[in-house]
Amino acid sequence: MSTSIKYIGLTNYANALNIQEQTHQDVLNGASDSIMVCEHPHVFTFGKSANKNNLLVDENLLKKINATIHQIDRGGDITYHGPGQLVCYPIINLRKWGIGVKKYVEILEESIISTLKHFNIDAYQIKHLTGIWVGDKPQIPRKIGAIGIRIKQGVSMHGFALNINTNLDYFNYINPCGITDKQVTSIRQEDTQCTLNEFSDKFIEIFLKSWESIKM
């Protein structure tokens, strides 16, 4: 059974979450695995282990910057989503395929890194820090992508966010993922030209190729 791809465009977070939850139920009921691809208007989301002090602005400023807040059930702390950022939600029946959480996250990370490599950006992981990083390791690394997932009844939810041409100023309003001593960046900030659609298409190609290879 092939994986379905859902391109839902610029969609408010609550609506995307509803679509994600319905798709999750469909996959549980035997539908094919699915990957949702979208962008969100300005929103900050708190994961299950979030420290509310990592939001650095009050309600009045949130209104001025046209941002909303959502408490959700993924792992991790606070993160930002906004226009120009690729958000990808793979909804995959890991239990059906006999794939563990650690291996699933590994495939996600390696697929993102390989996609960045395709666009001439060298990326890597940092031990004990989630996400995808670029820059010289001896210097201050820059975070280009965040990962936060949940496995519910053996089926994955949530996923990753990758900064394409995101307004990085919004990260100044939070401690991203609870981290205070690292920078954030985007594909544009790294002087590379790539559209959201180009990146998502290449990521899906690489991810599905890796996924199919371990299912065989």
Q: Which residues are catalytic?
A: 177
Angle at 198 between CA 45 and CA 147, to 5 degrees: 30
Q: For residue 142, which phi and psi values (nearest 5 degrees)?
A: -120, 130
Residue with tokens 């650095």: 56
Nearest residue to 91 via CA among 40, 8, 20: 20
**What is the phi/psi pair of residue 12, to 5°?**
-60, 155
Cβ atoms of residues 29 and 1 within 8 Å:
no
| CA 201, 82, 151, 113 torsion-angle sign | positive
Q: Which residues pair with 126 in a beta bridge?
A: 129
Instruction: Give the SS3 label for residue 76.
Output: coil
* Residue 10: C-alpha distances to residues 155, 163, 216 (Å): 25, 15, 35
Give, to the nearest 10 degrees, the angle between helix 101-118 and helix 196-215.
140
